[in-house]
Amino acid sequence: MAGCYSKIPVAHIEAGIRSHNKVEPFPEEVNRKTIDVMSDLHFAPTTLDKHDLIREGFRPETIHVTGNTCIDALRFISASPFCVEGSVLQKLPLSSKRIILVTVHRRENHGAPLEGICEAIRTVARAYRDTAHLVLPVHPNPNVNATVRRCLGGISNITLTPPLGYRELIALAEACYFAMIDSGGLQEELPCLGKPALVLRNVTDRRGAILAGAARLVGANVNAIVSGFTELMEDSALYQRMAQNRDLFGDGMAGQRIVSILKSYSSAETMADLAMNAGNSPLAWHAA
């Protein structure tokens, strides 16, 4: 907002990502739409995101499909050394059971939805006590922490951990058989790692993973979660179709593309023209 109202050009990374539901994910959906209106350059992770921006009235010449910088980070960090000793992976039955990564923290899942998700996790953990081990880094938000620990604490094949650092989380994602998540970033990262995902959300702002068959929307419905979990555990053909390495959200070069595009706008004259171009978004420049 400060850049926009000062008529300083604004560039938005992750432009155009949409669920088309303003309260899911909350508040990201509204924030992204607001920032896109205030932006002069839109760095869209995928062509789907570009098309959403065009449908909303943004000029195609302001939109650049770059991939998402989170895939740059994923490739960089996964190539760095990692020591299992002292990490959460050290105490997991990596050789004897299928590791299932679980994340749940979204605001829209607080309350009754989280209770349902926990019931489903409890159900599948008991049904697959001998073959699956679930690992859930617990978000510190009291609305999540209290419910998760009350519902899932003390189950032998569920490990509840504190929040993990990025390198450790990616190592866990690489080691898992599949994941159950409501995270936005992991919806992009898991296809890159070839790991299927059950998405614990009613709608997703990463439709590319669903359309490509790398992930499935199951929401917070107990039966849908249990069914999806069971299918991935029992149906090897389905699992193999989903467990393919896919560069759906970038090839690790997004940052370099963004830098290159910004350099093309680096002259004072070009930047001034960009800042004063009132036709680049539906609301254009608007005085505070």
Give the per-residue pLDDT at 168.
Answer: 97
Q: How many C-alpha atoms does 207 have within 13 Å on its Cβ side?
A: 14
Contact assessment for residue 254 and residue 72, using Cβ atoms and an 8 Å cutoff = yes
Which residues belong to CATH 3.40.50.2000 in the chain? 2-67+253-275, 85-242
Grouping H, G, I as helix, E, B as strand and the rest as coil, residue 137 is strand
Give the per-residue pLDDT at 285.
Answer: 33
Give the per-residue pLDDT at 284.
Answer: 36
- CA 50, CA 62: separation in Å to the nearest integer? 10
Tens of each residue's pLDDT in the chain, 288 residues:
999 999 999 999 999 999 999 999 999 999 999 999 999 999 999 999 999 999 999 999 999 999 999 999 999 999 999 999 999 999 999 999 999 999 999 999 999 999 999 999 999 999 999 999 999 999 999 999 999 999 999 999 999 999 999 999 999 999 999 999 999 999 999 999 999 999 999 999 999 999 999 999 999 999 999 999 999 999 999 999 999 999 999 999 999 999 999 998 876 556 556 655 544 443 333 322
| Superfamily grouping for domain 85-242 | Glycogen Phosphorylase B; (3.40.50.2000)
Give the per-residue pLDDT at 265.
Answer: 83
Sheet holding 215-217, edge to edge: 158-161, 132-137, 98-102, 178-181, 197-199, 215-217
Its CATH class, for the domain covering 2-67+253-275, is alpha beta
Give the per-residue pLDDT at 279.
Answer: 44
Which residues, in sequence order, are CB contacts of 74 under 8 Å at separation 6+? 170, 189, 192, 193, 252
Apex 217 CA angle, 145 and 255, nearest 5: 80
Give the per-residue pLDDT at 275.
Answer: 58
